[in-house]
Amino acid sequence: MSIEASVREFHLRVKYQGRRAKFNDIHDEHGRFGSGDGPDSVARAESSLHEKLPGAVVDFTGLQPPIARAIADRVSGLAEKYPEAASTLRFVGTGLGDAKKCGNIAGFSIAGPDIQSLKDENTIAVTINSTDVGVGMHADQAMLINEKQFQDGLVSAASVRDEQVGWVPPGCDSNLSRIDHEYGHVVCNYLLDDGKGHTPSASSTKDVGKMTVDFLERNANLGMQVSGYARSSVNQAGYEEGPTRLAYLGEPFAEAFSSRIGTPKSAWSEYTIKTDRLLGRVLPGGSSRKWGTA
Ligand SMILES: [Zn+2]
């Protein structure tokens, strides 16, 4: 089976520069939102998601209004389910492949070589996690979407083919599942970084990060069953160390997360069931309230 051009998604950790971008206020009544946009406009989709993610810049430039709306609704639903992880998002939007935009997103600085790898036209979406060297990890992150991959709609010939060849989990034939996958990274990064964001939560010093690393390592082989993409990532992890290895081991987690959100339990792999249990233990109701008490 050919998996040509199938490396559609990957995950990068970049250095955090300690700067905070000025967040655009897309709620400006005198600006885009209030200037006669119809109910399905891109600006309204951005606005509705920004309401759920007040700390994030939301920018859906280049998407058709119904697609922007569908993505906004999807991320909104996930943010409601995992509000603490959602609070680490600093950017959700298009522009993947736009070096200038990628180079400075909501306080992240992305170096040249990383920008190059972001420009792969086959990539559907990427979640970037920041690190703050010398201070420790932060969970602050950005979700970047390749608008070109959404030009043919949410279910495209490419997304269906990916499902048919087993590159993505069974039943995940919509590009919205790739959005779920990205949100899986948001949750995974949040856990790996013990919930540290710009404003660490009271519970952010617990050992959930270690527990998550242990989960990813211990179940890596099982994770290969989730999808072809998960298998390829676990294989790649075998050649990597440190944060890069963890980034690859985060892929089966993200794949399992998308399966868990988008498909019935009967379609879940054993790894997905284990991921579900882990989340039930460490993020019951999406909250870290019980961290350190178990
Ligand atoms: Zn991924």
The pLDDT tens digits of the residues spanning 189-212 come to: 889 888 776 555 545 556 888 899
> Cα of 38 to ligand 1 centre, how many Å?
34
How would you label 258-278 residue by residue, b for 16+ Cβ within 10 Å and e otherwise?
Answer: bbbbbbeeeebbebbebbbeb
> Cα of 127 to ligand 1 centre, how many Å?
7
Say how far apart CA 68 and CA 150 lie, in whole Å.
9
What Å distances lie between residue 47 and 58, 147, 180, 294, CA to CA? 8, 18, 20, 39
Say how far apart CA 79 and CA 52 lie, in whole Å.
7
Name the token pair of 136: 């420790």
The pLDDT tens digits of the residues spanning 92-135 come to: 999 887 877 777 777 666 766 677 777 777 888 888 876 554 44
> Cα of 27 to ligand 1 centre, how many Å?
30
Say how far apart CA 43 and CA 60 lie, in whole Å.
8
Say how far apart CA 13 and CA 267 lie, in whole Å.
31
Entry pTM = 0.85
The runs of H, that is alpha helices, within the chain are 42-52, 65-81, 83-86, 99-103, 112-118, 157-164, 175-192, 208-218, 220-223, 228-237, 242-262, 270-282
> Cα of 192 to ligand 1 centre, how many Å?
15
> Cα of 164 to ligand 1 centre, how many Å?
19
